[in-house]
């Protein structure tokens, strides 16, 4: 029987024989498959790339791969080049965030509060842990530091969770909400010029208020 080792080599074993040493074959490198995620450290030294099934980290000074794991769906580097990578669930392995250091090479699973483990309430995105918490008829966005889980900021959305996605600019999140929603109305109260433009839109359900925020601070950028 054949299967893949943790470092990508091909292992050949005889069924039922637990004592024999598997035969090992290193296959030639193939072209990199379609990318699902990528990020680079602040100093430009390390690069993490993930395909659908595998992820790796490369030292760009040497071109050497310094870490290999299963797929990553989000990751961020801290200023000291430590990598926090979110690995989605796979088989019996639960979704988890792993901390990778490279001088010397180490890897360890990070244990966060129970909310992270339920798979939906908290997730790594745009370099921070985002937690959307229902509170009566509203939703509170609580943003945590990925390193120590401390709360960086929070914001209440009075009419439920708005549409949100990561911006193409690193460290930014885009919020989107219908003009007719209470969330949008709260924003328009403090933005007279924007409110004037919104008033000219006849179909309020089709129009939307878009905000770009700095994810680490909650500051509205646009």
Q: In this structure, are strands 151-157 and 163-166 parallel, antiparallel, or unpaired?
A: unpaired
pLDDT digits (tens, 9 = 90+) for 108-124: 999 876 666 655 578 89
Q: Which residues contact 84 (CB under 8 A, 6 or more apart)?
A: 75, 76, 77, 78, 97, 98, 99, 100, 110, 124, 146, 147
Q: CB–CB of 161/149 below 8 Å?
A: no
The whole-angstrom separation of Cα 195 and Cα 199 is 6
pLDDT for res 3:
63
Mean pLDDT of 63-70: 92
pTM > 0.85: yes or no: no
Tokens 């050497």 locate to 64
Query: Which string of b and e fits 26-42 if b means at least 16 CB within 10 Å?
Result: eeeeeeeeeeebebebe
Q: CB–CB of 37/70 below 8 Å?
A: no
- Give, in order, the Cα–Cα distances in Å from 39 to each of 45, 79, 175: 11, 13, 22
Query: Residue 17 pLDDT > 90, yes or no?
Result: no
Tokens 């129970």 locate to 114
């Amino acid at each position: 029987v054949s299967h893949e080792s943790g470092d990508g080599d091909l292992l050949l074993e005889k069924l039922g024989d637990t004592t024999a040493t598997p035969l090992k074959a290193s296959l030639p490198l193939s072209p990199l498959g379609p990318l699902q995620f990528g990020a680079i450290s602040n100093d430009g030294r390390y690069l993490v790339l993930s395909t659908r099934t595998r992820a790796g980290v490369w030292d760009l000074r040497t071109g050497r791969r310094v870490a290999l794991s299963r797929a990553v769906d989000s990751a961020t580097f801290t200023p000291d080049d430590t990598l926090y990578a979110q690995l989605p669930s796979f088989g019996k392995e639960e979704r988890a965030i792993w901390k990778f250091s490279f001088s010397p090479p180490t890897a360890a699973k990070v244990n966060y509060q129970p909310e992270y483990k339920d798979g939906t309430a908290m997730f790594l995105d745009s370099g921070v842990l985002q937690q959307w918490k229902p509170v009566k008829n509203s939703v509170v966005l609580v943003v945590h530091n990925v390193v120590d889980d401390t709360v960086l900021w929070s914001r209440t959305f009075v009419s439920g969770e708005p549409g949100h996605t990561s911006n193409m600019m690193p460290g930014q999140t885009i919020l989107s909400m219908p003009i007719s929603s209470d969330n949008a109305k709260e924003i328009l109260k403090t933005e007279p010029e924007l409110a004037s433009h919104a008033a000219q839109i006849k179909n309020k359900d089709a129009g939307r208020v878009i905000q770009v925020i700095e994810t680490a601070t909650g500051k509205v950028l646009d």
